[in-house]
Structure 1
Amino acid sequence: MRTGRGWATIAGTGLFALAGGAAPAQEAPDAIVCDSLVQLRLLMADAQGDREAAAARLGAQPGCRRVPRGAIGAVERRAMVGGAPFECLAVREAAGCLWLLP
């Protein structure tokens, strides 16, 4: 006669495998960037800190656009505004660095 112990071991192993670790966060396929930090700050203010709202307002803010994350390179400049860090990153096929929406 079988006991429930064998099934409990198998079930416990399966549960352990499912809870083995958190799934990695998926990054958005595109990044929102602006030519200047001022343009980025204006976009962020209009969107009240909401990334989706910022994406919807891209057409209203000249100098801001989406770029593929794969086109983004190393940090070229950093700035602190009101205690918040901002980075200007090299972007393939851009004349200079572009400020990234945090």
Structure 2
Amino acid sequence: MAIAGIGLGALAAGPAPAQPAGAGDAIVCESLVELRLLMAGAPGDRAAASSHLAERTGCRRVPRAALGAVEHRAMVGGAPFECLAVREAAGCLWLLP
């Protein structure tokens, strides 16, 4: 009976959104310009931004475990951005917030 209650509660809340493959990965770009262009194509929607990765040659997914320390910070239009060290990358990569 308790299991049915949990299931009904989950149904009442609506279906869970589908997560793209590699949902535990981080989206990073080689330049802040590339990251901003990726974000402009999908404002506020991480899943949509993920679907546009093929259009941005300077952007890709990396495992979150590969992310290191913040090397650079920038403010653009009042929004903070961070460039993190990434294992096996020549320089820092800008992280999708």
2:42 maps to 47
What letter corresponds to residue 52 of structure 2 in structure 1?
R
Where does structure 2 lack aligned partners over 5 or more consecutive residues? 1-22
Q: Residues 4-53 of structure 1: CA distance to partner in whole angstroms, max 9, x if unpaired? A: xxxxxxxxxxxxxxxxxxxxxxxx41000000000000000001220000
Which residues of structure 1 form unaligned runs of 5+?
A: 1-27
Deviation at 1:62, TM superposition (A): 1.3
What TM-score does the superposition give when structure 2 sets the normalisation length? 0.76
The whole-number CA distance in structure 1 between the counterparts of 2:33 and 2:44 is 15
For residues 92 and 62 of structure 1, the distance between their equivalents in structure 2, rounded to whole angstroms, comes to: 19
Between Structure 1 and Structure 2, how many residues are aligned? 75
Name the CA distance, whole Å, in 2 between partners of 1:93 and 1:33: 13
CA–CA separation in structure 2 for the residues paired with 1:59 and 1:90: 22
Distance 2:45 2:60 in 1: 16
Aligned-pair identity in percent equals 79
1:86 maps to amino acid: F
Q: Are positions 1:87 and 2:67 aligned together?
A: no
Structure 1 residue runs of 4+, over 3 Å off? none
Q: Matches of 1:76 and 1:99 in 2, distance apart?
A: 10
Query: What does 1:27-66 correspond to in 2, within 5 Å?
Result: 28-66=23-61
- Give the structure 1 partner of residue 18 of structure 2: none
- After TM superposition, the score normalised by the length of structure 1 is 0.72
